[in-house]
Structure 1
């Protein structure tokens, strides 16, 4: 149980958990991960026989991470120390864990939410929306992403290398477990109003944004790739039509100004797709997201040299179109560019130049991320004289 000034409810939670262990005959312990309590919570827990460890770094995720690292059992059940969850009835969790589940999540919407236990904007907006996005982005079966009562195999979760320190720790556990193809299940659980007289630590908008930010950052496809592909497709289709001349639809004429918007879509779409590739490579390389065989094969084809060649060809094409535009401008004695044909060519030239430059810079950035980081540098190797001296000493 993570704990930060929970003196009002901690004793009840510890006693319920101990009653479950005694009733079920499980050899276990109650562990309190204290996050800097100043109300005597530590003494209360110790007086009841719970083990208290200190989580020096502040934050919900930091406290849970410390507790998981210090836990001695094969299985761990975590839950808030505010008496909103029933620690005396954890049989469904243990049954699933013994059946082979790696992570068992509680579903409060299926088990029952008592009146006043959850604010209306959490129950009908925050939790459903964030849980839907989690299922959409990561294809997880979990329908209650933020239930604080969950059980898991300690070894399986420890291997996920969970990093976040705040409330988004709850989302990180589900996301990484799903991406790592662990056995993730869900059981109904109940939620009742907590027993504290003070305000909860959770801040709706701040912590809701942290959860949403985490989901987006861990899914480069939805954050960058899909919007980028949509923008690029719209820009290319619309631009291809308008390069031939104005298009009239229902009495509305779409001309050179709409072509400018299409060019902007192409530039933004290309940059967004490049960010998706760079972000996915960074996340998988540094262990935030598990590696993907399909993605790795794609990157093998998108080498720096091939991307640079394509970027140079785009820029050369843009320079050619720009040269034609300058020639047309010179023919008019460098006067006002009133010809829509010339403006269309200039827009095409600028789009090709900017897109080519973006691709070139993105290719270099992606290749920088791919530089080996685990291989020993040449400078780290012992000098030949040192090797000779060591062999001589051994002789």
Structure 2
């Protein structure tokens, strides 16, 4: 599906996909923060929670919140549970398929990203400039928790490698905050079931003809492994594999286009 270069229709609804796995301690907190956000231009909020077969009380915490919350500014709730744990990427796929908003984004349940910055991501869209907006943890003057040196080097290396294949100049390909025009991302076939979602969706989105990708600075309140962070070094190697796999596919497409253009 090609992106449009015309001024987009007004955004009436934003779908917020929350992939959740063993997040009983934080799921109600993140829902509260989403509820407190007032989107510009009175954009409605659709929250889609995908419980990826949690083994703790995540489901009970979600149901309790939905049943007992008052003064809700969230206009629509959807709750989906996987019968088998499939991975974060698979939960995101489920959420994307269920989204009915004009645009969508993924919100982790672990409090690392601030819903208060949704409007920052939305701004390039309502100005008619963007189809996709990435929230970068490495640009701007927003607060960032100081954590692991080698993790930051790893993130920057993965972004650099991804940029080589996509010909983008992103500063944070691995960011958890990505906002997409829903029709656009629903038209893309996504395969990665775990943390390979980020490089795969970046490579495939970059291949969409005419797509307009923007980047804005965001805050980052990172967690340590002791605090529940789930990504591991194995996921880093998988990300490299995904960059090479999907990026090489993009290069072959571009090469074919150049050959056809010269015939």
Q: Does 1:94 align with 2:122?
A: yes
- The two structures have a TM-score, normalised by structure 2, of 0.79
Q: After alignment, is 156-165 or 39-48 more displaced?
A: 39-48
- The two structures have a TM-score, normalised by structure 1, of 0.54
Distance 1:57 1:159, change over 3 A: farther
Distance 1:36 1:296, change over 3 A: farther
Equivalence map 1:107-146=2 (5 Å): 107-111=136-140, 112=142, 114-116=144-146, 118-123=147-152, 125-146=153-174
Give the CA RMSD over aligned residues.
Answer: 2.7
CA contact (8 A) 1:75 1:97 kept: no
1:148 is paired with a residue of what secondary structure?
coil
Alpha-carbon distance, 1:128 to partner: 1.0
**Which of 19, 29, 41 lines up with 2:46 in the alignment?**
29
Provide the C-alpha distance between the structure 2 equivalents of 1:104 and 1:202, rounded to a whole number of angstroms.
23
Q: Deviations over 1:336-366 (max 9, x none)?
A: xxxxxxxxxxxxxxxxxxxxxxxxxxxxxxx
Q: Deviations over 1:156-179 (max 9, x none)?
A: 111121111110101111111111
Alpha-carbon distance, 1:196 to partner: 8.4
Bigger-Rg structure (1/2):
1
Alpha-carbon distance, 1:51 to partner: 2.5
CA contact (8 A) 2:102 2:181 kept: yes
Aligned length: 232
Q: Deviations over 1:45-96 (max 9, x none)?
A: 2333343112445111101111111122111121211001111231111212
Structure with bigger strand share is: 2
CA contact (8 A) 2:138 2:172 kept: yes
Equivalent residue for 1:7?
24
Alpha-carbon distance, 1:25 to partner: 2.7
**Which of 55, 61, 66 lines up with 1:44 in the alignment?**
61
Q: Deviations over 1:197-243 (max 9, x none)?
A: 5432100x211111111111223389xxxxxxxxxxxxxxxxxxxxx
Alpha-carbon distance, 1:109 to partner: 0.9
Structure with bigger helix share is: 1
Where in structure 1 are there 5+ consecutive unaligned residues?
223-275, 281-288, 301-395
